[in-house]
Structures are given as C-alpha cells and as structure tokens.
Structure 1
C-alpha cells in the first residue's frame, strides 16, 4: 500500500437511523468529509509557507468536483458516543483532468473496513467552465499518495 492519509470523523446524532446505526447516505457524508480533509490538509514535505494539502498547487478558481462514487458496505456502522470513524485515503489514478481517491472506513482502530469507496474527482476551472488539465506539480503531489484501487466484490 502506498502512503495513506488517515483522519478521524465524528459521527453525529442525526446520522443515526431508527435501527441505531449510521445510515448508508451518512456514511458517504463521512467519507466525503474525509476526502475534503485529504485534499486540503494531507501532509506534503517542502510546501511553501501557508500551503497545505494535495491541491495547494491549483490556481484560484479551480476546484474539485465529484464525478462519480462507488461504495460497498462490509459491516454495520453502529454509533458509539465519542468514538470517531477512522478513514484511510489514498489516490489510485491520476488522469489528464481527473483523479480517483480510494478510502477504507473503519468503526474502530484495527477493525476490518466497514465500507470501501472510490471517488472520481474532476478539477474544474470555473472561469473557463471546463476541466482543468492537471499540472505536473499537482500531478506529482497526487502521486505521492498513489496506490492500488480498492477491491470491490464481483
């Protein structure tokens, strides 16, 4: 496995459904929040003063948009007060203007993934209203976290 970014995301009371576990839609919200932290705050050595995250090298007016998501649930995600979910994320593909982020979401440290997820992100230039071609510098930053895709069931 390549270098991964790990973060803790606290479930909210409103994430729980009547059965007492985190609703499947809210699990995607947890993963999306972790994705945002990964892209904005992942550690990269040698960044300029004040710069953070994998997308620090994108120009103003360029942001990431979600193009597609695939998720599989492997275990129940019961709500436990004050026990955050653990998300590990990495990049599995870097294309011309898009890249794929993979994640495993765990209920507890050392536990099996409760969910696995892949999300295709497109870098979008809002001024041009078109996809932004990934620069060599941004590509190099994304590739620091490059690893294998998650394994989905057949």
Structure 2
C-alpha cells in the first residue's frame, strides 16, 4: 500500500469534459535502491501517458487515418513541452506486472498552447500518487513560431476540457 504524503486533491471536471485513462508499465530501471519509482521516472511515466493521450484519445467521426487529439494539426507542426508542474502524494512502489494508471484531460486551451492535466495512481481504487500539469505549445517548424490552434484542433481539445489540477501550494 502506498505511503500517504499529504491530502490528495479531488479533481472536479466540467460536466462536458471526458477523461482519457491509460495504463503505463513501470520498468525495472525506473526503481531506485529503496524499491520505489524515482521522481524523475514518475514524470517519464506521465509523459508517456501524455503522448498516448495526444495521439490516441478517441474522438468520434475522425477522417480515415485520423487518430488522437492532434490529428487536425497541419503538417510540420508538433507539440513541445513548455513547462511542467508535479506534486507527489504517495509512494510509487514497483510491483511487477502492475501498471500505473494515468487519467488525463485538458485543463486550459490558449491561442497556440494548451495544458494537459493528469493524476497518476498506483492502484485503481487508490488516491493519486502524483498530480501533474504540462503546458504544450504547438510549434510550426517551417515558420519557427507558435502555431495558432485551428478551430478543429480547439474543438477536439474542448471535448476533454476539465478543471485544472489543484496543487497544495
């Protein structure tokens, strides 16, 4: 059972928003000598979940070959991480063949950036071991500048729009 490091925040989402949940398997190299997942590796697990969310989140009516929240981004545009914030609320002990559960949603949509929020759990019925927010900027490599969100991308992101993570700070 994970040790509790403080009260875990309760996430309240807007009634319209959806949440994407995925399982991420920890690797043996993720654990430290004490047998728990290192704090840096927890961010790696969350980043892998973010990648799955952006690439594979289900959306109705996608065109043939279209997948994920960024399917409508122009060619030559990719997302870059602008900033990340994380708080740890419980120990993440490594258990073989027991994946971590990551729940993700969009907590802010700007002109050319958006924020992905997440809760990471060790057990499905447990509280979050970590909460996280990651600001993503859509970057146009040809123009070498931020790419303004199109109406299509904005609509896809809004499908998963919910409340920001409540950090203890």
TM-score by length of 2: 0.90
Q: Stretches of 4+ moved more than 6 A in 1?
A: none
Q: Does 1:77 align with 2:95?
A: no
Matched positions, count = 154
- Equivalent positions of 1:94-133 (< 5 A) are 94-133=109-148
Aligned equivalent of 1:48, options 63, 67, 70 = 63
- Equivalent positions of 1:1-154 (< 5 A) are 1=13, 2-154=17-169
TM-score by length of 1: 0.99
How big is each residue's C-alpha offset from its partner over 1:27-86, in whole Å with a ceiling of 9 and x where there is no partner?
A: 000000000000000000000011100000001110000000000000000000000000
Unpaired runs of 5+ residues, structure 1, are: none
Root mean square deviation, CA, Å? 0.5
Q: Which has the higher contact order (CA 8 A, sep 6+)?
A: 2
